[in-house]
Amino acid sequence: MNDKSRAHEARFAFAGSSSMTRIAFIGLGNMGGGMAANQAKAPHQVRAFDLSAAAVERAVAAGCLAAASVAEAVAEAEIVITMLPAGPHVRTVYAEQILPNAPKSALLIDCSTIDVDSARVVARQAAEAGFRFADAPVSGGIMAAEAGTLAFMVGCEASDFAAVEAALAPMSRVTIHAGDHGAGQAAKICNNMLLGVSMLGTCEAFALAEKLGLAADRFFEIASKSSGQCWSITSYCPVPGVGPQTPADRGFEGGFASAMMLKDLKLAQEAAAKAGASTPMGAQAEALYALFDANGFGGKDFSAVIELLRGRVSDLH
Protein backbone atom coordinates (compact mmCIF):
# COMPACT_ATOMS: atom_id res chain seq x y z
CA MET A 1 0.00 0.00 0.00
CA ASN A 2 1.44 3.41 -0.94
CA ASP A 3 1.59 6.50 1.29
CA LYS A 4 -1.51 8.09 -0.27
CA SER A 5 -3.55 4.93 0.24
CA ARG A 6 -2.47 4.65 3.88
CA ALA A 7 -3.26 8.31 4.51
CA HIS A 8 -6.68 7.93 2.90
CA GLU A 9 -7.40 4.82 4.94
CA ALA A 10 -6.26 6.53 8.15
CA ARG A 11 -8.35 9.61 7.39
CA PHE A 12 -11.40 7.41 6.74
CA ALA A 13 -10.86 5.46 9.96
CA PHE A 14 -10.42 8.63 11.99
CA ALA A 15 -13.49 10.34 10.57
CA GLY A 16 -15.52 7.18 10.76
CA SER A 17 -14.75 6.47 14.38
CA SER A 18 -16.47 9.64 15.56
CA SER A 19 -17.90 12.40 13.42
CA MET A 20 -16.98 14.97 16.04
CA THR A 21 -13.88 13.76 17.84
CA ARG A 22 -12.99 16.08 20.72
CA ILE A 23 -9.59 17.60 20.08
CA ALA A 24 -7.63 20.04 22.21
CA PHE A 25 -5.17 22.10 20.18
CA ILE A 26 -2.56 24.05 22.13
CA GLY A 27 -0.39 26.54 20.24
CA LEU A 28 -1.93 28.49 17.36
CA GLY A 29 1.04 30.22 15.78
CA ASN A 30 1.99 30.29 12.09
CA MET A 31 1.88 26.49 11.88
CA GLY A 32 -0.59 25.58 14.61
CA GLY A 33 -3.30 27.92 13.36
CA GLY A 34 -3.58 26.20 10.00
CA MET A 35 -3.30 22.76 11.55
CA ALA A 36 -6.12 23.42 14.03
CA ALA A 37 -8.28 24.81 11.23
CA ASN A 38 -7.91 21.58 9.25
CA GLN A 39 -8.95 19.52 12.27
CA ALA A 40 -12.06 21.71 12.55
CA LYS A 41 -12.78 21.18 8.85
CA ALA A 42 -12.58 17.38 9.25
CA PRO A 43 -15.02 18.09 11.00
CA HIS A 44 -14.01 17.63 14.61
CA GLN A 45 -14.75 19.60 17.75
CA VAL A 46 -11.55 21.55 18.36
CA ARG A 47 -11.03 23.45 21.61
CA ALA A 48 -8.12 25.77 20.91
CA PHE A 49 -5.84 27.73 23.21
CA ASP A 50 -2.95 30.12 22.75
CA LEU A 51 -1.47 32.89 24.86
CA SER A 52 -2.22 35.23 21.95
CA ALA A 53 -5.85 36.36 21.96
CA ALA A 54 -5.55 37.27 18.27
CA ALA A 55 -4.44 33.72 17.44
CA VAL A 56 -7.44 32.31 19.30
CA GLU A 57 -9.75 34.66 17.43
CA ARG A 58 -8.36 33.43 14.10
CA ALA A 59 -8.88 29.84 15.21
CA VAL A 60 -12.49 30.58 16.18
CA ALA A 61 -13.06 32.16 12.76
CA ALA A 62 -11.75 28.91 11.25
CA GLY A 63 -14.28 26.80 13.16
CA CYS A 64 -12.57 26.08 16.48
CA LEU A 65 -13.96 26.72 19.96
CA ALA A 66 -12.03 29.07 22.22
CA ALA A 67 -10.67 27.74 25.51
CA ALA A 68 -9.71 30.07 28.34
CA SER A 69 -6.78 27.89 29.42
CA VAL A 70 -4.87 24.73 28.57
CA ALA A 71 -6.66 22.96 31.42
CA GLU A 72 -10.06 23.88 30.00
CA ALA A 73 -9.04 22.85 26.47
CA VAL A 74 -7.87 19.37 27.49
CA ALA A 75 -10.50 18.59 30.16
CA GLU A 76 -12.69 16.44 27.91
CA ALA A 77 -10.32 15.83 25.01
CA GLU A 78 -9.95 12.53 23.21
CA ILE A 79 -6.84 13.83 21.44
CA VAL A 80 -4.46 16.56 22.59
CA ILE A 81 -2.20 18.18 19.99
CA THR A 82 0.48 20.69 20.94
CA MET A 83 2.51 23.00 18.69
CA LEU A 84 4.83 25.00 20.95
CA PRO A 85 8.02 27.05 20.47
CA ALA A 86 10.69 24.99 22.24
CA GLY A 87 11.53 22.14 24.60
CA PRO A 88 11.11 24.08 27.88
CA HIS A 89 7.60 25.14 26.83
CA VAL A 90 6.65 21.56 25.99
CA ARG A 91 8.02 20.20 29.27
CA THR A 92 6.21 22.84 31.33
CA VAL A 93 2.86 22.68 29.55
CA TYR A 94 2.69 18.89 29.73
CA ALA A 95 3.92 18.57 33.33
CA GLU A 96 1.87 21.40 34.78
CA GLN A 97 -1.26 21.62 32.64
CA ILE A 98 -1.90 18.68 30.33
CA LEU A 99 -0.99 15.61 32.38
CA PRO A 100 -2.88 16.78 35.50
CA ASN A 101 -6.05 17.74 33.60
CA ALA A 102 -6.55 15.57 30.51
CA PRO A 103 -8.54 12.30 30.65
CA LYS A 104 -6.24 9.28 30.93
CA SER A 105 -7.79 7.91 27.75
CA ALA A 106 -6.60 10.90 25.70
CA LEU A 107 -3.96 10.41 23.03
CA LEU A 108 -1.24 13.05 23.45
CA ILE A 109 0.67 14.24 20.37
CA ASP A 110 3.36 16.91 20.41
CA CYS A 111 4.05 18.39 16.96
CA SER A 112 6.60 20.95 18.16
CA THR A 113 10.20 20.80 16.96
CA ILE A 114 12.26 20.32 20.13
CA ASP A 115 15.34 18.50 21.37
CA VAL A 116 15.27 14.71 21.55
CA ASP A 117 15.89 14.65 25.31
CA SER A 118 12.83 16.82 26.02
CA ALA A 119 10.66 14.58 23.85
CA ARG A 120 11.81 11.50 25.74
CA VAL A 121 11.35 13.15 29.14
CA VAL A 122 7.77 14.13 28.30
CA ALA A 123 7.09 10.65 26.89
CA ARG A 124 8.32 9.05 30.11
CA GLN A 125 6.25 11.39 32.27
CA ALA A 126 3.18 10.74 30.13
CA ALA A 127 3.64 6.96 30.37
CA GLU A 128 4.10 7.17 34.14
CA ALA A 129 0.84 9.13 34.33
CA GLY A 130 -0.97 6.49 32.22
CA PHE A 131 -1.10 8.28 28.85
CA ARG A 132 -0.19 7.33 25.29
CA PHE A 133 2.20 9.91 23.84
CA ALA A 134 3.88 10.61 20.50
CA ASP A 135 6.39 13.17 19.31
CA ALA A 136 5.34 14.08 15.77
CA PRO A 137 7.21 17.09 14.36
CA VAL A 138 6.27 18.31 10.91
CA SER A 139 7.83 19.26 7.60
CA GLY A 140 6.20 21.42 4.95
CA GLY A 141 5.92 24.99 6.22
CA ILE A 142 3.01 27.38 6.61
CA MET A 143 1.44 26.72 3.21
CA ALA A 144 1.36 22.98 3.84
CA ALA A 145 -0.06 23.56 7.34
CA GLU A 146 -2.91 25.55 5.80
CA ALA A 147 -3.45 23.05 2.98
CA GLY A 148 -3.39 19.99 5.25
CA THR A 149 -0.41 18.51 3.38
CA LEU A 150 2.25 18.33 6.08
CA ALA A 151 4.67 15.43 6.48
CA PHE A 152 4.78 14.04 10.03
CA MET A 153 7.72 12.13 11.54
CA VAL A 154 6.43 10.13 14.49
CA GLY A 155 8.18 8.74 17.52
CA CYS A 156 5.91 6.46 19.55
CA GLU A 157 5.18 2.92 20.62
CA ALA A 158 4.54 0.79 17.54
CA SER A 159 1.15 -0.22 18.94
CA ASP A 160 0.08 3.45 19.11
CA PHE A 161 1.10 4.45 15.59
CA ALA A 162 -2.17 3.61 13.84
CA ALA A 163 -4.08 5.84 16.26
CA VAL A 164 -1.54 8.65 15.86
CA GLU A 165 -1.62 8.39 12.07
CA ALA A 166 -5.41 8.56 12.09
CA ALA A 167 -5.43 11.56 14.43
CA LEU A 168 -3.00 13.45 12.21
CA ALA A 169 -4.74 12.57 8.93
CA PRO A 170 -6.72 15.84 8.51
CA MET A 171 -3.41 17.73 8.55
CA SER A 172 -1.22 15.25 6.71
CA ARG A 173 0.09 14.35 3.26
CA VAL A 174 2.20 11.56 4.71
CA THR A 175 2.81 10.27 8.23
CA ILE A 176 5.85 8.05 8.86
CA HIS A 177 6.72 6.05 11.96
CA ALA A 178 10.34 6.96 12.66
CA GLY A 179 10.71 4.71 15.70
CA ASP A 180 10.33 4.88 19.46
CA HIS A 181 9.86 8.07 21.50
CA GLY A 182 12.27 10.79 20.40
CA ALA A 183 12.80 9.30 16.95
CA GLY A 184 10.40 11.77 15.39
CA GLN A 185 12.48 14.66 16.72
CA ALA A 186 15.70 12.97 15.61
CA ALA A 187 14.29 12.61 12.09
CA LYS A 188 13.13 16.24 11.99
CA ILE A 189 16.50 17.56 13.20
CA CYS A 190 18.44 15.51 10.64
CA ASN A 191 16.01 16.35 7.83
CA ASN A 192 16.14 20.09 8.48
CA MET A 193 19.90 20.12 8.78
CA LEU A 194 20.00 18.52 5.33
CA LEU A 195 17.47 21.08 4.06
CA GLY A 196 19.45 24.01 5.46
CA VAL A 197 22.67 22.75 3.88
CA SER A 198 21.04 21.99 0.52
CA MET A 199 19.36 25.39 0.37
CA LEU A 200 22.69 27.12 0.91
CA GLY A 201 24.22 25.05 -1.89
CA THR A 202 21.29 25.91 -4.15
CA CYS A 203 21.60 29.62 -3.35
CA GLU A 204 25.35 29.58 -3.98
CA ALA A 205 24.83 27.86 -7.33
CA PHE A 206 22.23 30.39 -8.51
CA ALA A 207 24.38 33.28 -7.32
CA LEU A 208 27.38 31.90 -9.21
CA ALA A 209 25.31 31.23 -12.33
CA GLU A 210 24.19 34.85 -12.23
CA LYS A 211 27.78 36.11 -12.00
CA LEU A 212 28.76 33.89 -14.92
CA GLY A 213 25.97 35.29 -17.08
CA LEU A 214 23.82 32.17 -17.07
CA ALA A 215 20.09 32.96 -17.03
CA ALA A 216 18.30 31.72 -13.91
CA ASP A 217 15.55 29.98 -15.88
CA ARG A 218 18.13 28.15 -18.01
CA PHE A 219 20.07 27.05 -14.95
CA PHE A 220 16.85 25.94 -13.26
CA GLU A 221 15.89 23.78 -16.24
CA ILE A 222 19.34 22.22 -16.39
CA ALA A 223 19.86 21.65 -12.66
CA SER A 224 16.34 20.33 -12.09
CA LYS A 225 16.93 17.64 -14.72
CA SER A 226 20.52 16.71 -13.92
CA SER A 227 22.74 15.63 -11.04
CA GLY A 228 22.23 18.87 -9.09
CA GLN A 229 18.50 18.21 -8.70
CA CYS A 230 17.16 18.57 -5.17
CA TRP A 231 13.98 19.76 -3.42
CA SER A 232 15.50 23.20 -2.82
CA ILE A 233 15.69 23.66 -6.59
CA THR A 234 12.64 21.93 -7.99
CA SER A 235 10.09 22.68 -5.26
CA TYR A 236 11.44 25.72 -3.40
CA CYS A 237 13.61 27.66 -5.81
CA PRO A 238 15.11 30.77 -4.14
CA VAL A 239 14.88 32.80 -7.37
CA PRO A 240 11.58 34.50 -8.32
CA GLY A 241 9.89 33.70 -11.60
CA VAL A 242 11.57 30.32 -11.90
CA GLY A 243 9.80 27.01 -11.35
CA PRO A 244 6.76 26.57 -9.08
CA GLN A 245 5.53 29.49 -6.96
CA THR A 246 7.69 29.86 -3.85
CA PRO A 247 8.25 32.52 -1.17
CA ALA A 248 10.88 34.05 -3.51
CA ASP A 249 7.93 35.15 -5.68
CA ARG A 250 6.41 36.95 -2.68
CA GLY A 251 9.42 38.89 -1.47
CA PHE A 252 10.44 35.91 0.67
CA GLU A 253 7.34 36.25 2.85
CA GLY A 254 4.94 33.56 4.07
CA GLY A 255 7.27 30.58 4.12
CA PHE A 256 9.58 28.92 6.66
CA ALA A 257 11.17 31.71 8.67
CA SER A 258 14.96 31.89 8.74
CA ALA A 259 14.79 32.14 12.54
CA MET A 260 13.02 28.77 12.60
CA MET A 261 15.66 27.23 10.35
CA LEU A 262 18.32 28.63 12.69
CA LYS A 263 16.50 27.07 15.65
CA ASP A 264 16.48 23.67 13.94
CA LEU A 265 20.15 23.93 12.96
CA LYS A 266 21.04 24.78 16.57
CA LEU A 267 19.12 21.70 17.72
CA ALA A 268 21.05 19.62 15.19
CA GLN A 269 24.39 20.94 16.42
CA GLU A 270 23.44 20.33 20.06
CA ALA A 271 22.39 16.79 19.19
CA ALA A 272 25.60 16.22 17.23
CA ALA A 273 27.72 17.40 20.15
CA LYS A 274 25.93 15.04 22.55
CA ALA A 275 26.14 12.12 20.13
CA GLY A 276 29.75 12.73 19.14
CA ALA A 277 28.81 13.14 15.48
CA SER A 278 30.79 15.23 12.99
CA THR A 279 28.54 17.71 11.14
CA PRO A 280 30.81 20.41 9.65
CA MET A 281 28.35 21.38 6.90
CA GLY A 282 25.57 21.67 9.46
CA ALA A 283 27.81 23.89 11.59
CA GLN A 284 28.55 26.15 8.62
CA ALA A 285 24.86 26.37 7.79
CA GLU A 286 24.09 27.35 11.39
CA ALA A 287 26.75 30.08 11.26
CA LEU A 288 25.39 31.57 8.03
CA TYR A 289 21.79 31.56 9.23
CA ALA A 290 22.90 33.05 12.56
CA LEU A 291 24.57 35.89 10.63
CA PHE A 292 21.44 36.36 8.51
CA ASP A 293 19.23 36.42 11.61
CA ALA A 294 21.56 38.82 13.44
CA ASN A 295 21.17 41.27 10.56
CA GLY A 296 17.42 41.38 11.17
CA PHE A 297 16.15 38.93 8.58
CA GLY A 298 14.90 36.14 10.85
CA GLY A 299 11.32 36.75 9.71
CA LYS A 300 12.14 36.23 6.04
CA ASP A 301 11.84 32.83 4.43
CA PHE A 302 15.00 30.77 4.80
CA SER A 303 15.57 30.83 1.03
CA ALA A 304 16.13 34.61 1.32
CA VAL A 305 19.67 33.76 2.43
CA ILE A 306 20.49 33.94 -1.29
CA GLU A 307 20.55 37.73 -0.90
CA LEU A 308 23.25 37.40 1.78
CA LEU A 309 25.34 35.30 -0.60
CA ARG A 310 24.75 37.82 -3.39
CA GLY A 311 25.77 40.68 -1.08
CA ARG A 312 22.35 42.26 -1.60
CA VAL A 313 20.64 42.03 1.80
CA SER A 314 19.67 45.69 1.44
CA ASP A 315 17.12 44.50 -1.14
CA LEU A 316 15.24 42.73 1.66
CA HIS A 317 14.43 45.89 3.62
The 3-state DSSP class for residue 191 equals helix
- Among 188, 211, 266, 274, the active-site one is 188
Please state, in angstroms and rounded to a whole number, the distance separating the CA atoms of residues 185 and 181: 9
Distances (CA, A) of 131 to 84, 120, 206, 276: 19, 14, 49, 33
Cβ atoms of 258 and 247 within 8 Å: the answer is no
Helices (H), the chain: 3-17, 32-41, 53-61, 70-74, 87-93, 116-128, 141-147, 161-168, 183-211, 216-223, 231-234, 258-275, 280-292, 305-310
> Which DSSP symbol is given to 106?
P
Please state, in angstroms and rounded to a whole number, the distance separating the CA atoms of residues 106 and 92: 18
Sequence-ordered list of residues with C-beta below 8 angstroms from that of 123, at least 6 positions apart, any chain:
133, 135, 155, 181, 182
Which residues is 110 bridged to in the sheet? Answer: 82, 135
188 labelled catalytic: yes
Q: What are phi and psi of 95, to 5 degrees?
A: -65, -40
Cβ atoms of 178 and 118 within 8 Å: the answer is no
Cβ atoms of 209 and 219 within 8 Å: the answer is yes
Name which of 83, 60, 79, 99 is nearest 18 in CA terms.
79
DSSP for 22-45, please give it.
EEEEE--STTHHHHHHHHHHTT-E
The set of catalytic residues is 188
